Structure 1
Amino acid sequence: MKGIYSELFAYVKKKKFTYALLMICLFTGIILDLVLPWFMMNITDSALDGNTKEFRFILIIGILILFFTFAQNYFDVLIKNYISSFVRNNLRLRLFDHYLKLPMQFFSKTKSGENSSRIINDVNVVGDLMGNTLISLIQGPLVAIAAFIFLINIQWQLALICGLIGPLIILIGKVFGTSMRKISGELQEQVSQSQSYIQETMNNMPFVRTYLIGNLVAEKFGGLTKKIFNYDLQKGKVQAALQGSSQAVGFLTFLIAFGLGAYLDR
Structure 2
Amino acid sequence: MNKEGTFFRLLKYMGRYKLLYAGLIITMLVSIVLDLSVAWFLSLITNAAVKLEVDRWPILILMGVGMLICISLIAYFDTYLKQKASLKIRNDIRQDTMEHALRLPQSYYDQHHTGDLLARFTSDNQAVGEASGNVIMALLKNPLLALCAFIYLLSIHWPLALITISIGPLMILAGKTFGEVMRKKGIRLQEAMGRTTSFLQDVLGASILYKIFGLEKKIANQYRQYSSEISEIERSQGKIQGAANSVSQGIANLTFIIAILLAGFFVAKGSLEVGAMLAFIQLMNYLVNPFSALPSLWSGMQQALAGAERIFQVIDFPKEYTELPQESHAKASFSELAVSNVGFSYTDSVDDLVLRDVRFHVYAGQTIAIVGTSGGGKSTLFKLLMGLYIPTTGTIEIDGRDREAIGLREYRNYFSLVPQESVLFTGTIRDNIMDGNPSVHEEQMIAAAKQANAYDFIMKLPDGFETEIGERGSRLSGGQKQRIAIARAILRDAPILLLDEATSALDNESERVVQDALTKLMVGKTTLVIAHRLSTVQNADLILVMENGQLVEKGTHDALLLAGGRYHTLYHSQMEKDEQSLVLEI
The TM-score by the shorter chain falls in which range? over 0.9
Q: Name which of structure 1's ranges 171-180 and 207-216 shifts more when overlaid on structure 2.
A: 207-216
Q: Which moved more, 1:54-63 or 1:108-117?
A: 54-63
1:101-139 superposed Cα distances (whole Å, 9 cap, x missing partner): 111111111001001111111111111111111111111
| Counterparts of 1:11 and 1:179, CA distance in 2 | 26
Aligned partner of 1:239 in structure 2 is 241
Q: Secondary structure at the match of 1:143?
A: helix
Instruction: State how far apart, in whole Å, the 1-side matches of 2:227 and 2:252 are.
Output: 37
Q: CA deviation at 1:218?
A: 2.2
Measured in 2, the distance between the counterparts of 1:160 and 1:3 equals: 36
User: Residue type matched to 1:230 in 2?
Assistant: E
Aligned match for 1:87, one of 83, 86, 89:
89
Tell me how far apart the structure 2 counterparts of residues 242 and 234 of structure 1 sit (CA, whole Å): 12
Q: Distance in 1 between matches of 2:207 and 2:253?
A: 56
Identical-residue share of aligned pairs (%): 32
The residue aligned with 1:39 is 41
What does the per-residue CA deviation read over 1:130-174, in whole Å, with 9 as the maximum and x for residues that have no partner? 111111111121111111100000000111101222211112222
Distance in 1 (CA, whole Å) between partners of 2:11 and 2:189 is: 26
Which position in structure 2 is the counterpart of 1:263? 265
User: Given residue 159 of structure 2, which amino acid in structure 1 is its aligned partner?
Assistant: Q
**Secondary structure of 1:15 counterpart:** helix
The aligned counterpart of 2:570 is none
The aligned counterpart of 2:21 is 19
Instruction: Output aligned runs, 1:156-167, within 5 Å.
Output: 156-167=158-169
SS at match of 2:122: helix
Partners of 2:81 and 2:176 lie apart in 1 by 28
One-letter amino acid matched to 2:118: S
Q: Which residue of 1 aligns with 2:231?
A: 229
Change in 2 beyond 3 A, CA 1:237/1:3: closer
Among residues 59, 63, 66, which one is paired with 1:64 in the alignment? 66
Aligned to 1:127: 129
Please report the TM-score for the alignment, with normalisation by the length of structure 2.
0.44
Structure 1 residue aligned with 2:189: 187
The residue aligned with 2:349 is none
Read off the aligned partner of 2:204 and give its amino acid letter: M
1-side partners of 2:5 and 2:233: how far apart?
A: 29
Give the aligned length: 266
| Secondary structure at the counterpart of residue 253 of structure 1 | helix
Larger Rg: 2
CA shift for structure 1 position 6: 4.4
Provide the alpha-carbon RMSD of the alignment: 1.7
Contact 1:83–1:131, Cα closer than 8 Å, also in 2: yes
Amino acid in the other structure paired with 1:189: E
For 1:5-41, what per-residue CA distance to the aligned partner results, in whole angstroms no more than 9, with x for missing partners?
4432222321111111000011011111111111111
Q: Counterparts of 1:243 and 1:141 in 2: how far apart (Å)? A: 17
State the 1:3 CA deviation. 5.3
Q: Residues 200-215 of structure 1 correspond to what in structure 2 (within 5 A)?
A: 200-215=202-217
Among 88, 95, 98, the residue aligned to 1:96: 98
Q: Which has the higher contact order (CA 8 A, sep 6+)?
A: 1
Q: How high is the TM-score relative to the length of structure 1?
A: 0.93
Flag structure 2 segments of 5+ consecutive residues without an equivalent. 270-586
Amino acid in structure 2 at the alignment position of 1:144? A
Q: Is the 8 A contact 2:160 2:262 kept in 1?
A: yes
Opposite residue 13 of structure 1, the aligned amino acid is G
Report the alpha carbon displacement of residue 211 of structure 1 after superposing the two structures with TM: 4.0
Structure 1 segments (4+ residues) deviating >6 Å: none
Q: Which runs of 5 or more residues in structure 1 are unaligned? A: none
Q: Which has a greater percent of helix?
A: 1
SS at match of 2:10: helix
Match of 1:252 in 2: 254
Letter of the 2:225 partner, please give it.
G
Q: Which moved more, 1:124-133 or 1:19-28?
A: 124-133
Letter in 2 for 1:242: A
Alpha-carbon separation, structure 2, partners of 1:5 and 1:166? 24
The answer for the alignment partner of 1:111 in structure 2 is 113
Q: Please state which structure has a larger fraction of its residues in strand.
A: 2
1:46 offset after TM fit, Å? 0.6
